[in-house]
Amino acid sequence: MSERSFSKRTTYAVLQVLAQGLGILVFSIRCLGREHIPIEGGVLVCSNHQSFFDPMLVGMGFRRRLNYLARKTLFRFFAFRWLIEFLDAIPIDREGGGLGGLKETLKRLKRGELVLIFPEGTRTRDGEVAALKPGFVALARRSKTPLLPVAVDGAYEAWPREAKFPRRSRVSVSIGPPMMPEYVRTLTDEQLVAELERRIRHCHAVARRMCRR
């Protein structure tokens, strides 16, 4: 595991508690499947992508610290850059191929951390799970870490990509059983993409049912 200062670890823990309280107050957030989160070692957390809130919403369900990928353009503004760097964001340059971000992601996975990615590649346009892009396959193969399927529902209603400002909505997060490296090795690249998509869609269906109760 990487070493972080006591103040950084403490501040992160406080922010997480505050975010959880805000999530309950504003979004009535519910999370199912925490028992599926590996208690140690690197994990590639793979979620659908409904809104800018997703990293925070997914992170609320994890006791372990969560790293996540973010577009390099989000690092242009000093105050926001400080915040997302503090929250362990990894910059990805989509136009440049994202090689630097992929290397950093592998480094964090291999030192036993959790990294959140959005295999759809961009936020949904209709609230549904889109077809996954195969970019995560190289990470899965090279890191040899479990893939943890996760889905969020209700975040699209809270902040759809065409809206300038967020609004209140009920949000649910569903975490599925991990795909272990031994199983991943038995799949072709095409099978891996299809199986992860199937599992994320199943988690999304569970999250949607929770939202509508």
* Total domains, the chain: 1
Asked if the structure places residue 1 within a domain, the reply is no
Asked if the structure places residue 69 within a domain, the reply is yes
Asked if the structure places residue 12 within a domain, the reply is yes
Q: 27 is in which domain, residue-wise?
A: 6-211
Q: What is the mean pLDDT of the chain?
A: 91
Please report, for the domain that includes residue 54, its CATH number: 3.40.1130.10
Whether 110 and 6 have beta carbons less than 8 Å apart is answered as no
Structure tokens at 112: 């036993």
Asked if the structure places residue 54 within a domain, the reply is yes
Whether 53 and 124 have beta carbons less than 8 Å apart is answered as no
Q: Does residue 70 surpass a pLDDT of 60? A: yes
In this prediction, residue 109 carries a pLDDT of 97
Asked if the structure places residue 90 within a domain, the reply is yes
Q: Does residue 95 surpass a pLDDT of 80? A: no
In this prediction, residue 148 carries a pLDDT of 98
Pairwise CA distance, residues 175 & 153, whole Å: 12
Given the DSSP bridges, would you call strands 114-117 and 43-47 parallel, antiparallel or unpaired?
A: parallel
Which of 119, 95, 115 has its CA nearest to residue 107? 115
Which of 147, 198, 145, 210 has its CA nearest to residue 174? 210
Asked if the structure places residue 47 within a domain, the reply is yes
Q: Does residue 183 surpass a pLDDT of 90? A: yes
Half-sphere exposure of 19 (CA within 13 A, CB side): 18
In this prediction, residue 36 carries a pLDDT of 98
Asked if the structure places residue 136 within a domain, the reply is yes
